Amino acid sequence: MLEGVMPLRDQIRWAEDGVRAARMTGNVSVQCNLLHGLSSGYMFRMDFQSALNALQQCLDLAKKSGLKKWEGRALKMMATHMSFKGRPIEALPFAYEAAQILAEINDPDAADAVDLVQSLEARTSKAHDISNRPFWKVP
């Protein structure tokens, strides 16, 4: 978000206002972008449920509108949040799906999603060779 520019409370308020404004204009991509950023603000505030709620809204909008970039990024961030909360087994399906979507569209976040999957697999003792999966071939 706007770390160092304004207090976190104001950053969150700004992002919430931005989401409302984007809804009024019907710009789904901007809504997704702001919801994604808002989830980070909530995480910094340690408000994990609000962070996941914002990401779920982003994911729902992205799926409904066919915005694969935001679908993949929301899934990746959801997996990351679950991992931070000590729920790596629950995070894995989100990370797998994020890695696949982001790799398919050649998104720069795909490599991070693959790293997240590998980290989660190692933490859950489900590590196995994933190099032969076509969606792991990230540029």
104, pLDDT greater than 50: yes
Which tens digits make up the pLDDT trace of 116-132? 999 999 888 754 555 54
Taking only Cα atoms into account, the Rg of the chain, rounded to an integer number of angstroms, comes to: 15
pLDDT at 6 (0 to 100): 79
What lies within 8 Å, CB to CB, of 48 at 6+ separation is 42, 81, 84, 85
